[in-house]
Copies of this chain bind each other. A is one copy, B any other.
Amino acid sequence: MKATIYDVAREAGVSIAAVSQVINGKGKISEERRQEIIRVMEMLHYQPSRIASALTGKKTYTIGLLVPDISNPFFAEIARAVEEQGHQLGYSLIICSTENKDERVERYISLLQQKSVDGIIIGTGIDNKKMLKPFLDNETPIAMIAREMPGLDVKTVIVDDYVGGRMAAEHLLALGHRRLAVLTENPKLSSSKERIRGFREGVELSGGELPDSRIKACGDELVKEGKRLAAQLLQCEDPPTAIFCCNDLLAIGTLQAAKQLGMKVPSDLSVIGFDNTILASVTDPPLTTVAQPTERMGRTAVDRLIGQLDKAYDGELRTVMQPNLVVRSSTAAPL
C-alpha cells in the first residue's frame, strides 16, 4: 500500500497536521521536527495524494485542452506549448481530440468537469455555446486558443486571421496573380471567416475580385478533401493560377492534386498555406505559408488561463498576435 499522511505522522511521532504543514510549507514548525518529518517521508517514499488534497478544496492542478485532433501537427504544436507552460506552472494536461464532433465535445466537457479541472483551453470549434455553461456557472476558467467564440466572455488568444488572409492576398497579388481561389476548412469557424475576409479584401483593394464560386469549403479529412477540391478548382474552365489554403494540410492536398494533374508548383500554380507547421518546411516544394506564433500562443493561453499574466493584461479579453508570411518555394509569378 501507498504510504499516507498518517503513516508519516505515526512514524515520525507527530500529528498529521504537522506533516501537512511541511508538505505545504506553511505554518510553524521547529526546524528539528521538520527535518525529521522530511526524513520519514523520504524513507516511506511518501507522495501526498493530490486527490485527497483536491477534495479538501485545493486545486487539482490539471487543465484540459480541447482540439480537433492531436495528430494534426498544428494542434500537436499548440499542445506542446500548452503542456510546457502548464508543466512549468505545476499543471498537468489532459488532451481531448474532439474530431469536431459536438457529441464528443459534450462528453469531454462533462468528463473534465467531473474531474474538476482547474481550467480548460479550447482550440476547437464549439457550435453550441450552451455546452460551456457548466464551466461558466462553475467559474472554471476557460480560454480559447486559435479559435474564437464571439459573444462569450472568455479569454481568447488568437492570431490576426484577417491580417493573415491579407498577407496571403498581397503576396500573391504582388507576384502578379489575378485568378485566385481559396480552400477553407469549416467556413463557420471565425478563423476561417476572417482569413477569407482578409484575403478577399486584399484582392478587392487591388481592384480584383473573388467570386464565391472560387471559395471551396471542406469537411474533416483535410488533405484528402483538399486534394479533391483543388482538383475541381484546377479542372474548371479558367482555372486559378494561385490558391490560398486556409491551413497547411489543405495546401498539401492541393500540392498533391497539382502533381496528379501534371501541373508544376509554383510555375503552373502557386499555393500558399496557413499555420507554418513542420509540414510546410518539408513539402515538395516547400510551402509558402502564413505563420502563427504557436509556441507563444500556447504559452500565453496558459498564462491567461491560470491568471499569472492577468495583472499585465488587465482585463483585456482578447490577445491578438500578429501572423507573418514565410515565403518558401510554392509561390512564384504566373507564367
- Identify the A interface with B (CB < 8 A): 2, 45, 47-52, 54-55, 60, 62, 69-73, 76-77, 79-80, 83-84, 87, 92-97, 107, 110-116, 134, 137-138, 252, 255, 278-279, 282-286
Contact = CB atoms under 8 A, between A and B. Distances in A.
A168 to B, nearest CB: 20
A96 B80 CA distance: 9
Contacts of A279: 278-279, 282
Given A51-B115, A283-B284, A80 B71 contact: yes
A96 B255 CA distance: 34
A207 to B, nearest CB: 35
A262 B190 CA distance: 43
A168 B299 CA distance: 40
A70 B62 contact: no
A83 B97 contact: yes
B50 A252 contact: no
Contacts of A95: 79, 83, 93-95
B116 A49 contact: yes
A76 B84 contact: no
Contacts of A112: 92
B70 A73 contact: no
A52 B55 contact: yes
B51 A116 contact: yes
A114 B83 contact: no
Contacts of A48: 114
Nearest to A107: B87
Contact of A94 (B54, B71, B94, B107): B94
A63 B266 CA distance: 46
A260 B107 CA distance: 49
20 contacts: A45-B134, A51-B51, A51-B60, A51-B115, A51-B116, A62-B115, A69-B80, A70-B76, A71-B77, A79-B95, A83-B96, A92-B96, A92-B111, A94-B95, A255-B282, A278-B279, A279-B279, A282-B283, A282-B284, A283-B284
A109 B49 CA distance: 14
Nearest to A279: B282
A282 B252 contact: yes
A1 B219 CA distance: 39
A282 B286 CA distance: 10
